[in-house]
Amino acid sequence: MLEATDDNEPIAAAGEAASISKSARKRLLKQQRLQARKIERKAAEKERRREDLERRRREWEEKLADKTEEERTRLVKSRKETRRERMGKRTEERSKRAERLRTAAVVGQKVVLDLEFSDLMSPTEIQSLAHQIMYCYAANGKCEYPAHLWLTGCNGNIGSQLQRLPGYDKWIIEKESRPYIEVFQDHKEKLIYLTADAETTLEELDTNRIYIIGGLVDRNRWKGITMKKANEQGIQSAKLPIGNYIKLASSQVLTVNQVVEILLKFVETGDWKNAFFTVIPQRKRGAVEIEGDDTIDVAKIEKECNEEGLEADAEEEVEEEYADNDAIRTKKQRSESKTEETDIIKATES
């Protein structure tokens, strides 16, 4: 199924694995190793940025140290003008982004994030889902052809968690406390639930259709739940054509933001293979990818993607896009660099 998994939170403790099968325990240990490496990578990146910030501050002070008062005044003035120009460009980009999102509300591909599963998740999982939704909004905002995003069933614990995100009230996104089946009750025939358990494979995106993504961080506890929901509601279902292009190393479960970014990339390129290789992290892909009856070289495809300026990990792409927005910090901010999550939150504010 295409419900969200938790790529951002620690995996269950090893002691909880006592009653699970050997293969499940192996998968758990692998996830723990991946999570540990991710935490180490983020810590290293945070330290790198802190050192870089300190280096730039030191270089600036050294640059001013041997200058006359007149030269220092000129340099400071020039620096302020540069900062002002940069802030002007950011303001202009925010304005353009807002205009793109408003246009998408009229002509964009409708994508619904179904948030009716709060009662099935722990507080940590709900927090993780809120972060994934934040990534979705950030990624959608920077697209040339953004989707018309909807949050339905947006109440209860997940609603409260989203409200804690700075700038959330200013998001240009549809927020509905009602379930999607009520919101689109007059367009039920247009609803398509995206789930890996579906028999139908999605070949194209239809702007007249409304695609639903299950917002559930469950680590496979609730396998098949979205398919069951679609069947009970009598709406269509479909799965992404991942198997036509990629042989995943594990299950075909993706995070919410990965599914959204795949759809966004397909809208942009009309190429599923491009979308999958751009968004799905390499750790989730097998050694050999499959395309029809032929095999294709993973390294070759990744090289092609990189030549087009594409990133392999969509979530990290969003993080890095907004991580270094502020080239110069105030003295108060210089004491400690911002974390990746804070930078992304700032980028989503209008």
Q: Which of 5-14, 140-149, 266-275 has the lowest mean pLDDT?
A: 5-14
Residue 4 in domain: no
Cα–Cα nearest to 339, from 90, 59, 41, 26: 41
Q: Kindly calculate the radius of gyration of the chain based on its CA atoms and give it in whole angstroms.
A: 22
Return the higher-pLDDT residue of 261 and 307. Answer: 261
Per-residue pLDDT reduced to its tens digit, 80-127:
888 888 888 888 888 888 999 999 999 999 999 999 999 999 898 999
Cα–Cα nearest to 317, from 279, 271, 268, 277: 279
What is the pLDDT at residue 102? 93
Residue 28 in domain: yes
Residue 329 in domain: yes
Residue 339 in domain: yes
The answer to whether the CB of 126 falls within 8 A of the CB of 154 is no
Confidence class for position 76, pLDDT limits 50, 70, 90: confident
Residue 180 in domain: yes
Average pLDDT over residues 309-318: 35
Residue 7 in domain: no
Structure pTM? 0.66
DSSP single-letter state for residue 312:
S
Residue 3 in domain: no
Burial of 86 per CB tally in 10 Å (0-12, 13-18, 19+): middle
Number of domains in the chain: 1
Active-site residues, by number, are: 218
In order, the DSSP letters of 110-131 are EEEEE-TTGGGS-HHHHHHHHH
- 128 lies in which domain range? 21-348
Average pLDDT over residues 288-309: 43
Residue 36 in domain: yes
> Looking at residue 147, which CATH number applies to its domain?
3.40.1280.30
- Residue 177's identity, in one-letter code, is S
